[in-house]
Amino acid sequence: MKGVACTWMLLSMCLLGHLIIYGEANEAEVLGDFLKSRLSKKPSPTMHSWAWLNEKTGNYPNYIQPQDGSMEADKIGALPGQPNVVDFNHYSGYVTVDSKAGRALFYYFAESPNNSSTNPLVLWLNGGMVIVNYQSL
């Protein structure tokens, strides 16, 4: 068993050394190349227009479905590892955008404990509940 572990360790170190020695691109170069390629492209005429949305989905306000009564149903009582007493309300759930197609967006919302009208919080997390790591908040 020790021999197998040592062999894997040696193989991993050799592979890492090879990548360090012969790896030519680094993150800064790749990012720079990407930004240069984006700057060289001319923006399309519809890039800054939302007209395409109305063409694809009809009138946008009709596309979002009513969410009546879902706020209290989405209120979170406590999260694992969360202190017993917190001074803010937080909610998690789904906002239906197309009930016919079964499409919904996941959200997590935390109210500001002090004057939420002057201390707004906007947080967008792509993905679903599996992706969200509440410890990073």
Q: What is the pLDDT along the chain (137 residues), one digit of tens a residue?
A: 677 777 877 777 777 666 666 666 566 777 777 777 777 665 555 445 556 555 555 554 444 556 677 778 888 888 888 888 888 888 888 887 777 888 888 888 888 888 777 876 666 666 555 555 555 55
What pTM value is reported for the model? Answer: 0.41
- What is the CB-side half-sphere exposure of residue 108 using CA atoms within 13 A? 16
**pLDDT per residue over 103-129, tens digit each?**
888 888 888 888 777 876 666 666 555
> Of 105, 92, 104, nearest to 134 (Cα)?
92
Bridge partners, residue 91, by sequence: 75, 109
Q: Are 80 and 15 within one domain?
A: no
Say yes or no: 29 and 65 in one domain: no
CB atoms within 10 A of CB 49: 10
Residue 73: which H helix or E strand, with range?
Answer: helix 70-73
Residue 56 lies in a domain: no
Give the integer Cα–Cα distance in Å for 77 and 28.
44
Same domain flag for 74 and 36: no
| 102 is a domain residue | yes
Task: Count the domains in the chain.
Answer: 2
| Domain identity same for 65 and 123 | yes
State how far the Cα of 85 lies from the Cα of 45, in Å rounded to an integer: 52
**Domain limits for position 85:** 61-136
Q: Is residue 52 part of a domain?
A: no
Question: How far lies 130's CA from each of 94, 122, 125, 134, in Å?
Answer: 14, 20, 11, 10
